[in-house]
A = this chain, B = another copy of it.
């Protein structure tokens, strides 16, 4: 192993420096590269393919739940951004402003969309007339820009790719139903496709989206014990509708305001994949979003018959899997490390002796288990292995999260956990924002969510000691 590892450039170990491990992995596994624009990344083919697979899975779920894709302009006139008071306060400090078109100064500045509520609202205000036009269930895939000070590939960048759902409903109940439905779609996708377990809950008022009545979130725990907000859904009530005048005529011919939601997931998920599943040898990708599911490595490939047989096997496997046969002149050991770095779930080795015995060697990326498999049943066996890898990765991530989820009843306990062995901390909260602020100041932890599955940890707020009925997940977060 030691020899093999030297063949590809070594990466910093997780234990030594998690942040450096992360940037090493995104770079060495060829997911992204930096560009000359501060905080903007180049998403390379291997990284973009993961995003395409994520898109396919999500888009199918959106369409199955009746949503349609649309495309809104990337620019928002300053006056439009200002229509909803909370929203503009939240976003104006972090937008990019276009002031000139060609050589001409614009009469009104345009911002590059940081999110598109205002554009959808303007559109809905013209497009919706009657109850027959409702619900409107729209989504768009696009890139957005937020002028962040500190940036990290996938996790926080000036520009990122995402989808944003924007819906309008006749009643408050329907809007609330949509908000929860899409949160469940997100969680199901993350757990079944990305193999990342999620906590579902509601954000505190302090952490909710600018302009929302309520924000719901799915939260996951990274390998280093920090949380990652992985997707959010927002119920706007009729706040935006009133600011933008989005009204419809109901069945009794009365004018009513619509009730709206929005929800988004982004390339940030790829950061989550890396930090939940990765190890000291690089990426570990769940089969469902792995650009290469099977790396086929010929052994002693110059020996007569080896490459021919390998190509034959490739043809068969390609019917069912995303397979790559690596015929390059690099050594098998180099190739092993290379595809480990790239997180390919299954490696198949095929050498002269294997061919003689009509078999191949399968090696799993997640637990390095090695199996000898008859060539005739190779495809079938790989199917079983991939399914098991997908399941095991979820279980492993869940075990990690569960063993790194603690309870605390005092600030001292919280501090101690966060210093010694960080993770999620379940603790009671009195619902006073002052306590939330104080907890952040003293421990660095923020409220991740008020989970739907509440527990009674203690009778009193972890911070002020007053009576408390709400359990909150706390944690440091990306």
A interface vs B, CB < 8 Å?
33, 35-37, 40-45, 48-49, 51-52, 68-77, 80, 92-104, 110, 112, 119, 122-123, 126-127, 138, 142-143, 145, 147, 159, 161
A121: min CB distance to chain B, Å: 11
Contacts of A44 in B (CB 8 A): 70
B35 adjacent to A72 (CB under 8 Å): yes
Q: CA of A199 to CA of B143 in the docked complex: distance in angstroms?
A: 35
Closest residue of chain B to A161 (Cβ to Cβ) is: B71
Q: CA of A71 to CA of B270 in the docked complex: distance in angstroms?
A: 14
From the candidates B52, B74, B92, B96, name the one contacting A143 in the complex (CB within 8 A): B74
A51: min CB distance to chain B, Å: 8
| Sampled A-B contacts (12; CB under 8 Å) | A35-B122, A36-B80, A37-B76, A37-B77, A42-B72, A42-B73, A48-B71, A74-B145, A97-B98, A97-B99, A101-B147, A104-B147
Q: CA of A69 to CA of B44 in the docked complex: distance in angstroms?
A: 8
B97 adjacent to A70 (CB under 8 Å): no
The complex is assembled from copies of this chain, and their number is 2
Contacts of A123 in B (CB 8 A): 33, 35, 42
Closest residue of chain B to A147 (Cβ to Cβ) is: B101
A349: min CB distance to chain B, Å: 23
Closest residue of chain B to A94 (Cβ to Cβ) is: B102
B43 adjacent to A71 (CB under 8 Å): yes
Q: CA of A110 to CA of B97 in the docked complex: distance in angstroms?
A: 10
CB-CB nearest 7 A-B residue pairs: A40-B73, A45-B68, A101-B147, A43-B71, A97-B100, A102-B147, A37-B73
Closest residue of chain B to A104 (Cβ to Cβ) is: B147
Closest residue of chain B to A126 (Cβ to Cβ) is: B33
B70 adjacent to A45 (CB under 8 Å): yes
Contacts of A93 in B (CB 8 A): 102-103
Q: CA of A127 to CA of B46 in the docked complex: distance in angstroms?
A: 14
A233: min CB distance to chain B, Å: 21
Known: A35-B119, A97-B100. A48 touches B69 (CB 8 A): yes
B112 adjacent to A102 (CB under 8 Å): no
Q: CA of A393 to CA of B104 in the docked complex: distance in angstroms?
A: 44
Contacts of A33 in B (CB 8 A): 123, 126-127
Contacts of A37 in B (CB 8 A): 73, 75-77, 110
A159 adjacent to B74 (CB under 8 Å): yes
B96 adjacent to A101 (CB under 8 Å): yes
Closest residue of chain B to A120 (Cβ to Cβ) is: B42
Q: CA of A222 to CA of B463 in the docked complex: distance in angstroms?
A: 71
Known: A96-B101, A147-B102. A69 touches B52 (CB 8 A): yes
A372: min CB distance to chain B, Å: 33
From the candidates B42, B75, B94, name the one contacting A70 in the complex (CB within 8 A): B42
From the candidates B36, B99, B142, name the one contacting A100 in the complex (CB within 8 A): B99
Q: CA of A36 to CA of B52 in the docked complex: distance in angstroms?
A: 31
Contacts of A100 in B (CB 8 A): 96-97, 99
A84: min CB distance to chain B, Å: 15
Q: CA of A42 to CA of B94 in the docked complex: distance in angstroms?
A: 24
Contacts of A76 in B (CB 8 A): 37
A471: min CB distance to chain B, Å: 36
Q: CA of A102 to CA of B102 in the docked complex: distance in angstroms?
A: 21
Q: CA of A161 to CA of B72 in the docked complex: distance in angstroms?
A: 11
From the candidates B43, B70, B94, B97, name the one contacting A48 in the complex (CB within 8 A): B70
Q: CA of A68 to CA of B43 in the docked complex: distance in angstroms?
A: 11
Q: CA of A44 to CA of B33 in the docked complex: distance in angstroms?
A: 34
B35 adjacent to A73 (CB under 8 Å): yes
A113: min CB distance to chain B, Å: 10
A254: min CB distance to chain B, Å: 21
B101 adjacent to A138 (CB under 8 Å): no
Contacts of A138 in B (CB 8 A): 45
A330: min CB distance to chain B, Å: 10
Closest residue of chain B to A119 (Cβ to Cβ) is: B35
A47: min CB distance to chain B, Å: 8
From the candidates B49, B69, B73, name the one contacting A68 in the complex (CB within 8 A): B49
A75 adjacent to B45 (CB under 8 Å): no
